[in-house]
Homo-oligomer: A and B are copies of this chain.
Amino acid sequence: MARNMKQAMIIDAALEVFREKGYANARMADIARRAGVSYGLVYHYFGSKEVLFDIIVESWWNDLYAMMEREIASDAPTRDKLVHIIAFFLDTYGSKPNLMSIFVSEVCRSSVYHTKEGLSRFLKFFNLCEQIMLQGQESGFLSKEIPPHHLTYIFYGAIETFISVMVLGKEPMTKKRHERAMNAILRVFTDGASSRAH
């Protein structure tokens, strides 16, 4: 599939360039050069810079939503669901660091703050997350004293910051890092950081 190959090369190049420079400073010429194609071809396939960015971003959101919906539908214990969500972020960082980097540095900020679509995508994710928190409260695993959207903020904030720090440090994902991040987030989120927690 020559077609798919070139498209894929452009996407990969775009991931790199968007990560390095950010959306605003990424130039279509850079992406074309990095992909080793003429920059007419980028337009041939993707129409515009915005569309190219959106395709990348959309694939991310769709994967995320799919995962979240799987978890919501599943009848696993809430604790496992939280584990799966954390793992999804950590694994994606491991397999597609560029994508994850773009997500934390561009998507979940600029795009969210300055476009309608960005905002609604973000809110949709929070909504899905909230459902899981609600399931947790109903199953008796999570305390009902804290509103589920607040639980969402704290849970998601923890994941995002862990990912951000790895992105900033360009740290490669390792088994150890994965395990430590997972443990820390899960432990503090469920039992708290206080020394009283057993």
Instruction: Mark A residues whose CB is within 8 Å of B.
Output: 21-25, 101, 104-106, 108-110, 112-114, 119, 122-123, 126, 136-137, 140-147, 150-151, 153-162, 165, 167-168, 180-181, 184-185, 187-197
Contacts and interface: CB of A to CB of B under 8 A. Distances in A.
Interface of A (DSSP majority class): helix
Contacts of A145: 187
A101 B114 CA distance: 12
A140 B190 contact: no
B161 A156 contact: yes
A139 to B, nearest CB: 9
Oligomer: number of copies: 4
B160 A193 contact: no
Nearest to A21: B114
Contact of A106 (B101, B109, B123): B109
Given A146-B184, A161-B156, A168-B112, A194 B106 contact: no
Nearest to A24: B24
Contact of A162 (B104, B123, B153): B153
